[in-house]
Structures are given as structure tokens and as C-alpha cells.
Structure 1
């Protein structure tokens, strides 16, 4: 019989159940490539962001179940390279890949590779920032999934994969300030098909190299989580499989992640779902860890073979802290964007503002790099879409600043896209639905304010609605299947462009996204 937690998970339940238990995923959205540390009684996690800006998300938790976005490491993606800028937008599926976060010398240290530009690092006194300007440690291509480590004698190391060279895993020494690799120390410590997701730990006198690789199990290729162990950092190493993975349809292939120990000495593994494929992307899971004969077992060893199986939930690791609700809403009252927002590539400065009209987000229209190509529209602002029982995202938008050939509204996008918005031509505004180039025009709009809404359930089938009074909503357009693409889950957000000029703007009054509940978002008729 299936574990009851697995049943709840597949029904769309997630996170803190408010009865001392939790259900996986603990975050039902795209928080891919996590790494986690504990500092005192606080837990911090980073998550890759690829082509989204700001880059490398930072999250905080008190109990490993309820997580909250608190900031980003990379404020400007052009500090990595020019291809991320609004005038190129040429890094879909690339950009900020998996990295590591560590606490050393009273600072937080983050290292990560981009597949095209190389190795980068930054430090901060506080995980929410500000982070030091991004430093390029090594200009190189074809490397990924790095992790820093400082030994008891203070010597720093970095472990990473050269995926362009047969997935060799390399170990380097770091310079004293952590800003350089000592290349003459380069040592290959492991190689196997698809070896990546690297982490390094020192526990009870052993060095542990965590990674995943691709092996044939039960007649198909799956990602397998492996640990190497040695008394010397350079080996020789013993090897052990930590958790059985059976494929996305069975256990969702937990693999990329990190080990963390609570203040009471218990161990857990924070992981993402392995391969994506669903519209929510790679979600965040929490699995218990037990140690047997100096080896960790991730999940439950149900058959006694010394290798774990996926766990879909259980007792919370830590109690006594209030449940943190995911931050998804924004009334734009602050003069900075809430941390759940990220831009599609680096936005164009001067084309958005939180101050020109206080309590509104003003989005100026930009001309796309390629006409009629939504993926070259700059200054699209979005956040992660979640896979829960019910989702409703509503935006209240003032369109009185629009001009001819301008279009703006609410969007979903990943590999494909779908929008509901307002289009103005020859002084006339009409409602417009666009499903990856299949367009439906709606009624003429004679109001200056419009409410746009997206509604989807656990199946990810989205339907758009609109209102001219904030109370009565009308369905418009067809159905759209939310999807995954460019190693990202679906994004929900706002867009604004002008196909002919850099003229016109919209003002977003608020954006309200409620997951798993049907609620009203304040006084919608305001």
C-alpha cells in the first residue's frame, strides 16, 4: 500500500501540515540545485536561477520545512557576461547553475559555475545581502556543480565537474582569500557517466565527496546518488550508493542537494526533484538521513539493503516556529522589489520604476529584439508557478499610459508561452489572448483599469479571466497547459512591450498569487 504521505503529495499537498508533520515537496515550485547550511539555529539554502535576474536565490528557514526567499547573490547578470543583457537575451537554460553556500570566517561564501563564462564567487556578512560584487575566479567553459570546503588547517578546496571532458570530477586548492584556484593542485578524484551535483564534507575524521551519476538500474538510465569516503582528501576512496532512484514517475529522482545536521544532531538531505518534466520544475524535498557504519542513508531503508528509498513526508525536524507562508504577493508599497520576483535576463535600466508613481510598479514598453518573438521581450518580470491543488494569480493594472502598437498584461512562459493582455492600435484598446502565436482578440476596452487573472489546478491546465470592475470576472481565450523548458518550470508574471517604438507604459497596482486556496486579494474593487 502506498505511503499516505505519497498519496497526499500526489494530491497536491505540500510542506507543513500544521500537525507536526510535513509532506514533500516542502516547496512546490522550481527551487532547483539546492545547497543548504546551518548557522546557529538558522538554515540557509541557495537555488540556481539560470537566465533569471537577480541570480542565485537565497532562502531562509528555522525548521527545514517552511522556507522564505530573502534575496539573491547576483544583482546584475551582466557582471557575468553581455549575453545576459536585455539587448541580447541569449542565455536561456544557461547562466547561474548549481553552486554551494558555506559559512567561513564569519562570512557566507557562494561559488557557482556558468557553463559558458566560468567560475564565480561572492561573500556577504548577512545571507540576505548585500553581497560583494561578483568575482570571476576562472574564465572557462564546460564546468559545473562546484562546492567549496575549508579544512581544519584553514586550507580551502573546491570540487567541481568538467562536463565537457567526460564528466571528470576535479579537486583544486583555493588561495587564502578564496578568489583564486591553485591550478597546479588540480587532481581528478572521480569519473563516471554524468558525474555532477558535487558536495564535500568532513565528518568524524572522514572526507566525504557527494555526487550523482547516471547508471543503468532496472533496465533504464537513472541518476544515482553516490558518496565517496576517505581518511585523506586525495583518497583512495570507498564508494557507496545512498538512495535508490527509480525515475521521475516513481520517486522523482531526488539527487542534487546537500546534507545538513540540526542543532540536536539529526541529519537531513535537502534535494530537488531530479529531471523536471512537470510544469513546476524541480521542487524542493526534505529527506531524513541515518548513519550506519560511517555511511549516510538517505530516506528509509525499507528492504534492509543499506540503501535508502524516497520519503514523501514525516515528522517535522524542528517544532515551535510558526509556519512561513510563501511570499508571492506584492502591493509595490516598498521601493525595492520583493525577492520572489526575477526578470527574464537582465532588464533595461530606466524602463521600470517603483518610485515614479508610488505604490505602483511602472513598466515602460521596450521594443523586442525580434518582432513577434515573445522570448526576446525585455523586462518581463515573473516568479515561480506552483503545483498545488488550486492557484489563482491576479493583477490590477492601470493601462491609461498605453500608446499605439503597445501590448501588456499577464503571462505564463517556459518552453512555450501564453498571455492575456491589452493591445492598443489606432487609439483603440482590445483584449488579446496569445497562445504561442495562436491569437484571439476580444472586446474593445473603454476603461483605464483592468484586472487580469490566471487560474490553474494541480493538472497545470490554465485558464485566463478578466474584469473591468474587480468583482465580476469573465473567462477569455483557450486552455493552456503549463509546461517546463530551458531547465525551468513555468513562470507567471507581467509583460509590457511596443513592437514599433520605446513608447508607452503600464502601472501595476498589485499582484496577488494564492496557492492551494481560493481567497480574495484585499479590496479588489479599489
Structure 2
């Protein structure tokens, strides 16, 4: 399996292959900065969400290959700070960065930093929620990539990087309730260029500090995965590289992630593809872990040097669980949004509703902060765009409630943006395509129902289509290259705004996005 799985992944294959094997990535979308734990027979993970709300995605799996979104830790990003709100939208690429999830005293605990506001934590008895109101542990700037740990005597610790000060990795003691750092306990345990992605474990009585750092390999700087090991939590520590990384074109630098042990005793590493730059963002990978001379080796040691190499697939860790059908269909019949939805910054609560018209998502028009800047349009509701051989996302909207000056429709955005929608002017509704300011006008629309569709291939070349009957679709606008920006892969979303007033709305009847399981 390892011989051809890299080729399969490049052709768009991913995840569970249905024959007892899997291909990396196990999730072909932007699930950055993952961490993972096992509780009983279940595996739970988290993924950073940056400026998207709700924040810090929570995932669940039974076999480490098939994952589903089950919730978020942070319901309201303004509990972090006002810059995340719809009237500011000033945290692109910032916000909820990498964190860690742990199970302690019959509760789930999540800690994370934002680079501008500091250290936050929350707990829950059910990882799907509700989570306790977010607690700010430490108001500080310039820190990231934290992980809590409770030792056998019950003492809690937290490891974190001060990236604003030479990337020093610090170890702190936690208060008994886990809500305070005992700051006078802070000790620098490691420093190297770019040292972050911290995790701490105690395995068979030995302390392990996982992290990554930037080193020069064959004249090129790459992020390298390292492990520190000691019999005492404050050291002294031995250090070892535990997987070779060769750069974006070879292995895409797996680095940020977490170790987890199955019920049967096998070890695995959940990681994101760390270099970014691709339109799908930083995808989720699963790598086997073996132990050699008391060190974990990620991937496969192909040359006997005690350091692993990237693995692009293999046997599923746990058999008997079916392949997940990766679908984000939503008919908006529930009282709450499905977990795969996230807003661009914190939305304006009075401008969207699931109850105004039961069975529909109503998106009222908002005035942007800057009418000439799409990235200041509030209440854009979004999902991750996946990278497979074929992707199609379709939305059915009712446009009878639109008002003059309003525009609404389907969009893609990262560093740039592209939209297909309806613009109402002087009582006339006209189809409109907008690729980062390059506008193409289409026909006048006389009906009250419209279907919009986005179709893209493995290279991220997107085409928009529209239909007035839901059966016959017509291509409209130019091809658009999906992209990467603000540490995020492409987001596909729905928008509704009005530069002239606060009038108008659309009703979203259904949204369907399904992706291909395999390539050629």
C-alpha cells in the first residue's frame, strides 16, 4: 500500500478506500493544527479555526481514518475580544490558533492561545458540547501552541512557546482548577528557531516533549519534528528528530499534531500538512508510530537511521467501521446550524435566522464596513473547500425578499474572492459574477427561486453555474483559481449584503456539497 498511495493521493484519492486500507490525507480539507486523544473506544480531535466562528472545531472518529465534525469549543468569538465582531472584522489569520485537548477528571479540557489576546481554556463533559464559557487564563501577546498535562500526583502543567521572544518554550505549573498559570513557576525548557507545535506526554514513566522547529536541510529551511525525553519533567532532556521532512514538493512537511494509542496498544500520529499554500489548506494525515530504543518514530524508518519518513497510506488502524460519506448537505430543518458551518468572524445575530421561516436559513442584508471590500461583509456563512478529483456545491435560494441595493449568492474566498449572485437594482434582479472586482453581468431574473452551483477539480479550477429550474444549469463567469490566504484554505460560503441600506433578505432552502471519494 505504501508503494502507490502517494500517487493515489495526487490523483485525488483520500481516506478510507473500502478495502481495509486508507490513503492520506484522511480529510482532504483545511483541518489545521490538530490534536487527538482516545477516551474508551472513541477518538476526539480539535482543529484551529482562526478568525472563523464558532471557534476551535471538535471532531470524532471510531477508527482514526473516518472523521466527522461534532461541534466547537467557542460559541462567540467576542468572548475573546471585540476585534472579531462583525463591526470590526479585524482578525484575519489571527484568532484561535493551535491548542490541545485532554481528558482529565471525567472532563474534556481544551487550551489554546490567540496571538493578540492570550491564553484561553474551557471544559465540557461532552465534547460535542455545550462547553463552559470561555475563560481567559492569561492576557498576553506573542504566545502560541500550548498543551496541558497532569502528572501522576495531580499537579497540572502547561507548555507553550513565546514566539515573540526568540521562540522560547516555557513550562508552567497550573492551579488546581486549571484556570490559572503559576507564572513564577515558568521555566524555559527548550529554544530553537521556530520551536512550537508543543505537546507533552508521560509514557511508561518517561516525559516526552513533542515540538517542531525550523532547520536547514540541503540548503532549504524546512520544519522538522523533534522529541525531547527525560526521566524528570524539568529535565535534563535528550533530543531526537523523529521524522524526516523534505519540503512541500516531497512530503508537505507533516509537523503539527498529536500522538495517540489505540485500545490494542498501537501508536499513531495525527498531523496536518504543514506548509500550506494549496487551496485546500492544511489537510489531515494519519501516520503509524513505532518505538525504537524508547523513542517514537513517526512513519517508516526506511534506511535504519532511527528517523521516520512520510507514509501516504496503509492498513486502517481499526477495522469494522464504514467509510464516511463526506457530505455537508443541509436542509436547515434543525433548530441549530450543522457543525460544518462557520461564519467569517462573529456574525450579526439579528441578521440571520433559522426560525423566521422554518426549514430555511434566512440571511438578511447587512451594510459592509467598507462597501468596496468584500472581506468586510459580515454574516458570510462558510465551509471548507476540499481537494478531490471532483467537487460540486449547490445552493437553492429564494430571492423574493430582496431589496434594491442588495446582493446575495455563493462565494469562494481566501486571499482573493469570487462570487456568483443576484444584484437587485431599481426593482430588477440581475445575475452577477465578481472575481475580486472584475465583474460580469448576466441576464435579468424574473423568478423567485434560483439554484447556484460551484464545480471545481483537483487543481482548484472553479466554474460557477446557475439554474432557474434546478435541472438545467448554465455556466456563467470566468474560471477562477481557488487559493490560500490568511493561513486558511479556500472557503465556500453564502453571502447577503446591501451597500445602500439594511433592507432585503434571501431564504436558503438547501445546500448540498459532496466530494469524490477516489481519483483515477
TM over 0.5: yes
Instruction: Go from structure 1 to structure 2 and tell me whether the alpha carbon gap of 1:117 and 1:135 turns closer, same or farther (over 3 Å shift).
Output: same
Q: CA deviation at 1:326?
A: 2.4
Q: Tell me the equivalent position of 1:104.
A: 104
Alignment-derived partner of residue 236 in structure 2: 236
Kept in 2, the 8 Å contact 1:68–1:327? The answer is no
Match of 1:255 in 2: 255
The one-character-per-residue Cα deviations of 1:436-486 (angstroms, maximum 9, x if unpaired) are 000000001101000000000101000000000000000000000000000
Match of 1:464 in 2: 464
| Partner residue, 1:60 | 60
Alpha-carbon deviation of 1:517? 6.6
Structure 2: tracts of 5 or more residues without a match: none
Name the residue aligned to 1:411: 411
* Paired residue secondary structure (1:309): coil
Q: Which runs of 4+ in 1 moved over 3 A?
A: none
* Map of 1:453 onto structure 2: 453
Partner of 1:194: helix, strand, or coil?
coil
SS of the residue corresponding to residue 350 of structure 1 reads helix
How many angstroms does 1:3 deviate by? 2.3
- The residue aligned with 1:489 is 489
Structure 2 partner of 1:21: 21
State the partner residue of 2:420: 420
Give, in whole Å, the separation in 2 of the partners of 1:513 and 1:23: 21
Q: For structure 1, which runs of at least 5 residues remain unmatched after alignment?
A: 519-526
- 1:327 deviates by 4.0
Taking only aligned residues, the RMSD between alpha carbons, in angstroms, comes to: 1.0
Structure 2 partner of 1:506: 506
Distance apart, 1:350 and its partner CA: 1.0
Q: CA deviation at 1:203?
A: 0.4
The secondary structure found in structure 2 opposite 1:255 is strand
Q: 1:163-222 CA deviation, whole Å, 9 max, x = no partner?
A: 000000000000000000001100000000000000000001110000000000111000
The separation in 2 between residues aligned to 1:275 and 1:293, in whole angstroms, is: 30
The question of whether the paired residues in 2 share the 8 Å contact of 1:267 and 1:289 is answered with: yes
Deviates more, 1:314-323 or 1:66-75: 314-323
Cα separation, 2, equivalents of 1:394 and 1:186: 52
Matches within 5 A, 1:99-498: 99-498=99-498
The answer to whether the Cα contact below 8 Å between 1:138 and 1:180 also exists between their aligned partners in 2 is yes
Equivalent-residue separation in structure 1 for 2:438 and 2:78 (angstroms): 33
Instruction: State the alpha-carbon separation in 1 of the partners of residues 380 and 125 from structure 2.
Output: 31
Matched residues in 2 for 1:517 and 1:220: separation? 34
Measured in 1, the distance between the counterparts of 2:357 and 2:275 equals 42
The TM-score, its normalising length taken from structure 1, stands at: 0.98
* 3-state SS in 1 of match to 2:194: coil
Q: CA deviation at 1:2?
A: 8.5
Q: Is the 8 A contact 2:396 2:510 kept in 1?
A: yes
- Across the two proteins, how many residue pairs are aligned to each other? 518
**1:293-343 per-position Cα deviation (integer Å, ceiling 9, x unaligned):** 100000010111110000000000000112222241101010100000000
